[in-house]
């Protein structure tokens, strides 16, 4: 083993982005540890693929916009296809929720959000039920090619020497005399000088971290895709209805949609589909898209989003144990913000600090 081997637990978006930027910044002995047969099958592969930079919390909003810049203009050779389909994203509200939407826009004056009368949205989607009065619009947001982003991060890391270990499950963190010495896996012990926790909901399992756990909680959210619908146009924007907790976008000739349910779960429960939540999505869809009320569900699934108590990212060095780092608690923004938090994490791992303006906000120390 080289003196600076870094083991990253989890090869979803968080782990892949961290591995990529670690190798960009000069590390070569980087190991991505993944328990599944394929990278990105959990939260990364079970999300809505929406690039929505219009996030209410200003610091996270800025992270999202910076990361979106990377996806709009990735480094030469990073990806083989465009990473963003700029169909635009509308946040829309009825009159009673318009103050909330207005505050989101006012709190983020540099975000490029256009506050408009809702008529512009009805022109694009005439099937939408009446009642919306205000929209916030970002024409540069839209739909991400999540698989291409993930694979591009992994390819870039592997080209620079990183190793991807599939079907090797992390069992426990191993430390001695106040510093990391490696991890125990399903294939035995692996030595490392630095270990990065980037395994999504599984970062909440305190028994695997032997006294170094952080307060992270996974929540389940359901999505569905309808069968193809003649009313749906592939160029429709993403629509997110504020206060009603419902969003939709075109997908495979039909609509992908969610009712934004938030149910606390354990990681092993995250993929379990609750039929009552699928019916709740259908109910919201019928109210907002009445002409499509009879649409059949082609498939439905659940994914997980993991949060710290303050609902901000947990990225950086753990001050309790030398060589332990976190890239966790990414909530619903783990794809959109990957280019920034991956780079910040690599700063900590490679040089022991990060000068990024958001680094202190994300540092694990605040949770201790």
Span 52-98, pLDDT tens digits: 999 999 999 999 999 999 999 999 999 999 999 999 999 999 999 99
What are the sequence ranges of the domains in the chain? Answer: 6-47+146-215+309-367, 89-139+218-306
Number of Cβ within 10 Å of residue 50's Cβ equals 21
Give, in order, the Cα–Cα distances in Å from 300 to each of 46, 67, 249, 278, 283: 10, 29, 15, 7, 14
Contacts 24+ apart (CB under 8 A), 181-187: 182/7, 183/7, 183/9, 183/33, 185/33, 186/35
Residue 340 predicted with pLDDT over 90? yes
pTM: 0.96
Please state, as a whole number, how many other Cβ atoms lie within 10 Å of the Cβ of residue 353: 11
Distance CA 350, CA 103 (A): 39
- CA terminus-to-terminus distance, the chain: 32
What number of CA atoms fall less than 13 Å from residue 103's CA on the CB side? 9
Determine the pLDDT at residue 72.
Answer: 98
Q: How far is CA 281 from the centre of its chain?
A: 21
Q: What is the mean pLDDT of residues 159-187?
A: 97
Element (H, E) at 147: helix 146-159
Retrieve residue 207's tokens.
């028994």
Torsions phi, psi for 360 (to 5 deg): -65, -40
CA distances from 228 to 34, 256, 267, 281, 297 (A): 35, 11, 32, 17, 10
Computed over every residue of the chain, the mean pLDDT equals 96
CB atoms within 10 A of CB 263: 14
Convert the pLDDT of each residue in 5-18 to its tens digit.
Answer: 999 999 999 999 99
| 116-126 mean pLDDT | 95
pLDDT score at 113: 87
pLDDT at position 114, please?
A: 87
> What is the rounded CA–CA span in Å between residue 165 and residue 39?
10
For residues 275-294, average pLDDT: 96
DSSP lists the bridge partners of residue 144 as: 84
pLDDT above 60 for 2: no
Lowest mean pLDDT among 31-35, 112-116, 198-202: 112-116
- Give yes or no for a contact between 169 and 268, defined as CB atoms under 8 angstroms apart: no
What is the rounded distance in angstroms from the CA atom of residue 238 to the CA atom of residue 235? 9
Strand partners, 223: 301
Q: In degrees rounded to 5, what are phi and psi of residue 214? A: -120, 155
Beta carbons of 248 and 237 less than 8 angstroms apart = no
Phi-psi category of residue 258: left, alpha or beta, with phi > 0 → left and psi -120 to 50 → alpha: beta
CATH number of 6-47+146-215+309-367: 3.50.50.60
Hey, how many other C-beta atoms are within 10 angstroms of the C-beta on 342? 27
Cα gap 230→295, rounded to integer Å: 11
Q: How far apart are CA 20 and CA 18, in angstroms?
A: 5
Question: What is the pLDDT confidence band of residue 1, given thresholds at 50, 70 and 90?
Answer: very low
CA distance 173 to 158: 24
pLDDT tens per residue across span 292-326: 999 999 999 999 999 999 999 999 999 999 999 99
Q: What is the pLDDT of residue 3?
A: 63
- pLDDT over 80 at 268, yes or no: yes
Domain 89-139+218-306: CATH superfamily, name plus number: D-Amino Acid Oxidase, subunit A, domain 2 (3.30.9.10)
pLDDT band at 112 (very low <50, low <70, confident <90, very high): confident
Q: If you search the block for the tokens 């993403």, which residue do you land on?
A: 238
Instruction: Give the separation between CA 353 and CA 368, rounded to whole angstroms.
Output: 18
């Amino acid at each position: 083993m080289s003196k600076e081997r870094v083991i990253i637990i989890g090869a979803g978006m968080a782990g892949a982005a961290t591995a990529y930027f670690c190798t960009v910044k000069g590390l070569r002995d980087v190991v991505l540890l993944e328990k599944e047969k394929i990278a990105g099958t959990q939260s990364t592969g079970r999300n809505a693929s929406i690039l929505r930079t219009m996030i209410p919390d200003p610091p996270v909003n800025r992270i999202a916009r910076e990361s979106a810049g990377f996806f709009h203009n990735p480094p030469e050779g990073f990806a083989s296809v465009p990473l963003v389909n700029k169909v635009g994203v509308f946040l829309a509200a009825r009159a009673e929720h318009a103050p909330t939407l207005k505050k989101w826009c006012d709190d983020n004056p540099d975000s490029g959000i256009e506050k408009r009368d809702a008529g512009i949205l009805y022109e694009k989607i005439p099937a939408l039920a009446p009642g919306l009065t205000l929209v916030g619009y970002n024409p540069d947001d839209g739909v991400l090619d999540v698989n291409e982003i993930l694979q591009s991060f992994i390819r870039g890391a592997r080209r620079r020497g990183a190793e991807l270990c599939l079907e090797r499950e992390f069992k426990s963190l191993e430390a001695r005399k106040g510093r990391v010495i490696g991890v125990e896996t399903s294939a035995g012990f692996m030595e490392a000088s630095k270990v990065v926790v980037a395994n999504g909901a599984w970062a909440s399992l305190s028994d695997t971290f032997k006294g170094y756990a952080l307060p992270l909680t996974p929540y389940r959210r359901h999505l569905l895709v309808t069968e193809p619908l003649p009313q749906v146009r592939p160029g429709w924007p993403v629509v997110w209805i504020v206060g009603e907790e419902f969003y939709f976008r075109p997908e495979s000739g039909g609509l992908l949609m969610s009712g934004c349910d938030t149910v606390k779960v354990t990681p092993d429960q995250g993929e379990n589909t609750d039929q009552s939540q699928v019916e709740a999505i259908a109910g919201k869809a019928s109210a907002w898209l009445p002409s499509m009320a009879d649409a059949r569900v082609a498939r439905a699934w659940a994914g997980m989003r993991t949060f710290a108590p303050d609902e901000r990212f947990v990225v950086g060095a753990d001050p309790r144990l030398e060589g332990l780092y976190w890239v966790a608690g990414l909530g619903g923004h783990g794809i959109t913000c990957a280019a920034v938090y991956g780079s910040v994490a690599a700063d900590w791992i490679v040089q022991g600090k990060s000068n990024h303006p958001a680094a202190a906000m994300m540092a694990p120390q605040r949770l201790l």
